Amino acid sequence: MQTTKFILASRASPLALQQANWVRSELERLVAGCRVEILRVRTTGDRMRQAPLAQIGGKGLFTKEIEEALLDGRAHFAVHSLKDLPTNLPEGLTLAAIPVREDTRDALISRSGQPLGELGREARVGTGSVRRAAQLKRLRPDLRIEPLRGNLDTRLRKLREGPLDAIVLAAAGLRRLGLADQITEYFDQQSLCPAVGQGALGIEARAGDEDTLRVLAALEDPWARMTITAERSLLQGLGGGCQVPIAAYAHRQQESICLTAIVIRPDGSQWCTDTECSPLRIAEGDGERLRETAEALGRKVAENLLEQGAGKILQEALRDETALPSPQTP
């Protein structure tokens, strides 16, 4: 059996490498003769570790340099946390595969072992996400939200050593690194709506590289693709990125796909939310019709939110420095 070698580009953080190694082992298991090597790439978001993400600005903080490795031929494909991947990809690149999706929820880890509702008044909660900060303030206006950057180990160390009472992270990352036992509380998607694409991996490749695309098709999960398509269609309809207070969650409900989304002021004082469902009266093998259904659902929810005033909230968030957590880094 002839062996074909592929180069996979990835960030070098422990979570990114865990995800890349999972993709490598799955491809080598599913595709006979496939061998994968990992190219570690340092991104802008990795280099600028101290500043809050929203303050750095711009899209593709964790993807630009990786995409350059694809375009110049140093790598055949790349693995991203899909919530980091902008909705508009560079010309010549495509979202080649979306594997089965992990847990979409956010999770709280507290030093005391208490859930959010039992933390003391003005408890300090760390997060690097405007989306999480805004929704936490909606749930508990008294909370003191503190900025938090770094990989998972760094964030957990800051919780242990610093003045923080709790931190909020994506459950998927904790589960992938075997740290689920440290979770104090899972937030349901109605209480703390997740980021677009949260819990999913996006595998990006050159659009014309047929050999690579054929191999990557082994990892595709149709239902993950459909939920991600609906969420990213919503995000595109609102013109948002990963560092604006937009949250969305697509899921299956009986014979329908449902999409819930929220646009919220960074201080949690005002929000717009909407839920819409589309029946799945299409054979699941009809990928093009399923994609069209998901895209239309995302556009519909975006239109409903804009009618409620979401555009004004987003404009204010982008120009208002209060979108950023307090500058006192723990």
252-303 pLDDT, tens digit per residue, is 988 899 999 999 999 999 999 999 999 987 555 577 888 899 999 999 999 9
Q: Residues 328, 134, 270, 240: is their CA dihedral positive or negative?
A: positive
Percent of the chain with pLDDT over 90: 75
pLDDT tier for residue 330 given thresholds of 50, 70 and 90: very low
CA distance linking residue 174 with residue 152, whole number of Å: 8
According to the model, what pLDDT value does residue 320 have?
Answer: 62
Mean pLDDT of all residues in 124-130: 94
Integer Cα distance of 140 and 253 in angstroms: 30
Tokens of 128: 């690097």
80 sits in which H/E element = strand 77-81
Q: pLDDT digits over 208-257, tens only?
A: 999 999 999 999 999 999 999 999 999 999 986 655 789 999 999 888 99
Of the candidate ranges 5-19, 41-55, 109-123, 287-301, the one whose mean pLDDT is the lowest: 41-55
CA atoms of 270 and 252, how far apart (whole Å):
28
User: Hey, what are 252's tokens?
Assistant: 């299956």
The domain ranges of the chain are: 1-99+199-220, 106-193, 221-330
Query: What is the C-alpha to C-alpha distance for residues 15 and 45, in angstroms, rounded to an integer?
Result: 14
The total of other beta-carbon atoms located within 10 Å of residue 319's CB is 8
* Residue among 72, 84, 188, 274 flagged as catalytic: 84
Specify whether the CB–CB gap between 174 and 229 falls below 8 A. no
pLDDT value at position 173? 95
Q: Reply yes or no on whether the pLDDT at 46 is more than 90.
A: no
The counts of H helices and E strands in the chain are 11, 13
pTM over 0.85: yes
Q: What percent of the chain lies above the pLDDT cut of 70?
A: 88
222 token code pair: 């149709």
User: Token pair of 236, please?
Assistant: 């595109």
- Residue 120's CB is within 10 A of a number of other CB atoms, namely 10
Query: What's residue 285's pLDDT?
Result: 58
- In this prediction, residue 97 carries a pLDDT of 98
CA pair distance 261, 100, nearest whole angstrom: 22
Q: Is 84 a catalytic residue?
A: yes
What's the confidence (pLDDT) of residue 301?
Answer: 98
Q: Give the position of tokens 């180069």.
A: 7
Handedness of CA 227, 229, 235, 241 (dihedral sign): positive
Same fold, 1-99+199-220 and 106-193: yes
What architecture is the 221-330 domain classified under in CATH?
A: 2-Layer Sandwich (3.30)
pLDDT at 329: 28
- Domain 1-99+199-220, CATH number (from 3.40.50.10190, 3.40.190.10, 3.40.50.2300, 3.30.465.10): 3.40.190.10
Q: Average pLDDT in the 164-177 region?
A: 96
CATH, domain 106-193, list 3.40.190.10, 3.40.50.11540, 3.30.420.40, 3.30.9.10: 3.40.190.10
Averaged pLDDT, 72-87 = 93
